[in-house]
Amino acid sequence: MLDLLKLKTFLAVAATHSFTRSAEELGLSQSTVTTHIQALERELDAQLFDRVGRKVMLTDAGRRTIDYANRLLALAEEAKSSVLKSGELSGAVSVSASEVLAAYRLPEILRRFQRLHPKVELSFAARSGTQAQIDAVVAGKLDLAIVLDEAIQSDRLITSTLRQEEVAIVMAPDYRASDSGARILLAGGLSGWLERVINSPQCPPGAPSEVGSIEAAKQYAIAGMGIAVLPKMTVAAELKRHLLVCVRMPAPPVHLHIQLVRNRGRWTSPALDALWSVAEQCFETEGALTAL
């Protein structure tokens, strides 16, 4: 009988192409990972990986095994989730969001969900970069990603756009650019849409400067150190208090999409369905958005 832990180990190695990295992610020793893979290969009577130096690559048999491994693990999770305690939804859901959404949108979604379904075990984290989140969803290491980026289209994913967020170009009210141009403050981890804004006619000419986090970009802008390009929701409070003012916006304005993303090929647990629904409900009305 195939062991679920060995299947999880197999999927981790398939995703990372490394026994060492898989061991770190799973909290196992490298020798244990090797033992799991060797045992699984014996049980299946097939070689799952080709070992080339330190890197491992899936064989044809290994690629065919991925789908079965995902389905078996999903069935195991389905069996676990179907056992309800006191009539309440249970199970586990892993979710990630970009730094922006983790700070400005995700907490309210998780608060509402946890209040409705206290028996569900939530694990959540902020991840930098949309592609890193998508890769984790595709690899089965993450149930749900909430991303802020341009519209995502993929046959491997199911997505739902919750709303659009406007991009703002902001500066301190008394900011004056030097003769050589403005310093354009950029937060790390924000992706390709930045280039469209920077190159738009409405963005003042200047030299891009990555300053780290969104909070750092805001504080540098407030201190008069440059012009920040950020999702407008991140500077709403500062604009209201007149600590920052908007520069001319791109024409047409650049809008990003807040999107839910999950793996099309994986079974969706009742807990994940419920979290997906709560996230969509949070954005259904303007009143709900104001509360976020």
Cα distances (Å, whole numbers) of residue 211 to 111, 196, 222, 226, 249: 31, 19, 14, 11, 21
pLDDT at residue 291, rounded to an integer: 38
For residue range 251-272, list pLDDT tens digits in order.
667 778 899 999 887 778 888 9
pLDDT at residue 286, rounded to an integer: 42
Q: Does the pLDDT of residue 237 top 70, yes or no?
A: yes
Domains and CATH numbers, the chain: 4-81 (1.10.10.10), 86-163+256-291 (3.40.190.10), 165-255 (3.40.190.10)
pLDDT at residue 169, rounded to an integer: 85
Q: Residue 56's closest CA among 105, 21, 4, 26? A: 21
CA 110 to chain centre: 15
For residue range 174-209, list pLDDT tens digits in order.
988 776 677 888 776 555 566 666 666 656 666 677
DSSP for 233-248, written as a single string: GGGHHHHHTTSSEEPP
Q: Does the pLDDT of residue 161 top 70, yes or no?
A: yes
Tokens 């001319």 found at: 248
